[in-house]
Amino acid sequence: MATAKTPKEPKPQITLLEAMEALTEKHGSQAEAARQCEINKTYWSRLMSGIKDWPSDETLARLGLRRNVSYEWIKQPRGKKAAA
């Protein structure tokens, strides 16, 4: 007898800044959070301030994250119009 699969709940979306703020709070300081995640503290600070904004997949993994890019429509796409 086959059992129905329980759908997995989607993982919550979180911004890089939100994740880093949570880790900073957990570890008590940016310097300690960076040390625990094995990320240079200057680079940590630059990521949090937005000076750097596209960390490598390795850095994201150290933060317990993975990249998830999404897009939204802001206008009609270019190209041929559909026949009516």
Residue 78 covered by a domain: no
C-alpha 50/C-alpha 79 separation (Å) is: 35
Q: Where would I find the H helices in the chain?
A: 16-27, 30-36, 41-49, 57-62
Residue 70 covered by a domain: no
Residue 7 covered by a domain: no
pTM of the model: 0.69
Residue 79 covered by a domain: no
C-alpha 64/C-alpha 40 separation (Å) is: 16
pLDDT at 23: 96
Residue 55 covered by a domain: yes
Residue 3 covered by a domain: no
- Domain count within the chain: 1
Domain that holds residue 37: 16-62
Residue 39 covered by a domain: yes
Residue 26 covered by a domain: yes
Here the tokens at position 75 are 């206008």
Here the tokens at position 6 are 């329980």
pLDDT digits 0-9 by tens, 10-58: 667 888 999 999 999 999 999 999 999 999 999 999 999 999 989 999 9
Residue whose entry in the numeric block shows the structure tokens 């979180």: 14
